[in-house]
């Protein structure tokens, strides 16, 4: 069955209630998140309930710290696809407003989870916090489960070896740090797949087309901004095709463009993508963004970038 997204928790019909759910923000749906969802899936199978994920829109950080730089790892559409791939049937994308933000941990459980969603099971991560002032914890959720009649499972930390030889916990913060440091392969290790930017292809200055390498331009918008520079990429088109390429992520100082955008040159491809939604994986960081003294120098560097990117994402070409 296709995933159903529900953007409410009050006055839900009976068929939208009674799921076994994983609770959290799940930005990135990384390998740690997947463990929490797996716990909910196990409970759903045992209890013959639907499998749900409860998350929030906007992210609470956006409500409390609206001036912070963008930090999202995925759009809601990407999140829904990732959840569907894990067998999730219901995506409760709950509006996080000042009413919900005012609920203490008990109020949140009673009003949202019990009265609103009628949950049968709640799976959480070991470091969950919920309720006003982040007062709720995994242990408190267990206690509320006993009181209100739903079961609770707690996923233990999931991680791997860090770059300094120790252990690290898979986290959304770890993904963001890896991307900002120019290590998309580390981000992909935590996510279980490459970090990808999805958006509508916008019409730019068309300078690349004039110079022989037309680019598909997508605004970064609410995504965390990875290290600016040039990346080897793979882009998924609306029809499902995947095309290798090379992209500049940045402000394009040579041509004077200032807003951060992803400009992707799709190799051996010449079709009109304007107005279409594409999704581009950042596979490998090649070099920082540079300002060139002439277009000739820029073209020569792009050709070198092309060769390096082809060796990574299109070795057969």
pLDDT tens profile 245-265: 999 999 865 555 567 899 999
pLDDT of residue 260: 87
> pLDDT (tens digit, 9 = 90+) per residue, 85-125?
999 999 999 999 999 999 999 999 999 999 999 999 999 99
Give pLDDT, residue 255. Answer: 55
Strand duo 121-125 + 90-95: pairing: unpaired
Tell whether omega for the bond before 58 is within 30 degrees of 0, i.e. cis: yes
Which residues are tagged catalytic? 263
User: Would you state the torsion angle of the CA atoms of residues 35, 15, 7, 124, taken in this order, to the nearest 10 degrees?
Assistant: -20
Contacts of residue 45, Cβ cutoff 8 Å, sequence gap at least 6: none
d(CA 134, CA 129): 5
Structure confidence at residue 317 as a pLDDT band (50, 70, 90) = very low
Identify the band that residue 7 occupies on the pLDDT scale cut at 50, 70 and 90: very high
Domains observed in the chain: 4-158 (3.40.50.620), 188-313 (2.40.30.30)
Q: Tell me: the pLDDT tens digits for 262-307?
A: 999 999 998 999 999 999 999 999 999 888 888 899 899 999 999 9
Q: Is the pLDDT of residue 139 over 70?
A: yes
Measured in residues, the chain has a length of: 317
Q: Which residues contact 81 (CB under 8 A, 6 or more apart)?
A: none
Average pLDDT for 209-213: 72
57 confidence band (pLDDT: 50, 70, 90): very high
User: Cβ neighbours of residue 205 under 8 Å, at least 6 residues apart?
Assistant: 255, 257
213 or 277, which is more confident: 277
Cα separation, 39 vs 301, in Å, equals 49
Six-digit token pair at 308? Answer: 């390096």
Cβ 121 vs Cβ 49: under 8 Å: yes
Name every residue whose Cβ is closer than 8 Å to that of residue 12 and which is 6 or more positions away in sequence. 6, 116, 117, 118
Mean of the per-residue pLDDT values of the chain: 92
pTM score, whole prediction: 0.91
- Report, as an integer, the average pLDDT of 61-86: 91
Could you give the count of Cα atoms lying within 13 Å of 257 in the half-sphere of its Cβ? 19
How would DSSP label each residue in 208-257? HHHHT--EEEEE-TTB----SEEEEEEEE-TTS-EEEEEEEEE--TTTT-
Residue 169 CB-density burial (10 A; 0-12 exposed, 13-18 middle, 19+ buried): middle
pLDDT computed for residue 278 by the predictor:
98
């Amino acid at each position: 069955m296709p995933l159903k997204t529900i953007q409410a928790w009050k006055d839900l019909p009976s068929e939208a209630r009674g799921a076994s759910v994983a609770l959290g923000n799940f930005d990135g749906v990384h390998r740690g998140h997947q463990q929490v969802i797996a716990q909910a899936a196990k409970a759903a199978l045992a209890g013959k309930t639907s499998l749900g994920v409860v998350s929030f829109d906007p992210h609470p950080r956006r409500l409390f710290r609206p001036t912070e730089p963008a930090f999202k790892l995925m759009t809601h559409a990407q999140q829904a696809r990732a959840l569907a791939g894990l067998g999730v049937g219901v995506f409760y994308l709950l509006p996080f407003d000042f009413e919900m933000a005012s609920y203490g941990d008990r109020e949140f459980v009673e009003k949202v989870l019990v009265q609103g969603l009628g949950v049968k099971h709640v799976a959480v991560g070991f470091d969950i916090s919920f309720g006003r002032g982040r007062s709720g914890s995994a242990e408190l959720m267990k206690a509320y489960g006993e009181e209100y009649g739903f079961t609770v499972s707690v996923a233990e930390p999931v991680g791997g070896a860090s770059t300094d030889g120790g252990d690290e916990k898979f986290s959304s913060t770890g993904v963001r740090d890896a991307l900002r440091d120019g290590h998309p392969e580390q981000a992909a290790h935590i996510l279980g797949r490459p970090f990808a930017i999805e958006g509508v292809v916008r019409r730019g200055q068309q300078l690349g087309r004039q110079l022989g390498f037309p680019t598909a331009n997508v605004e970064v918008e609410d995504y965390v901004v990875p290290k600016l520079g040039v990346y080897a990429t793979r882009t998924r088109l609306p029809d499902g095709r995947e095309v290798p390429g090379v992209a500049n992520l940045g402000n394009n100082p040579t041509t004077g463009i200032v807003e951060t955008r992803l400009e992707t040159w799709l190799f051996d491809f010449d079709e009109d993508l304007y107005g279409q939604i594409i999704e581009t994986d950042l596979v490998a960081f090649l070099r920082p963004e540079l300002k060139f003294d002439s277009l000739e120098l820029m073209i020569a560097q792009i050709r070198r970038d092309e060769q390096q990117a082809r060796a990574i994402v299109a070795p057969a070409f």
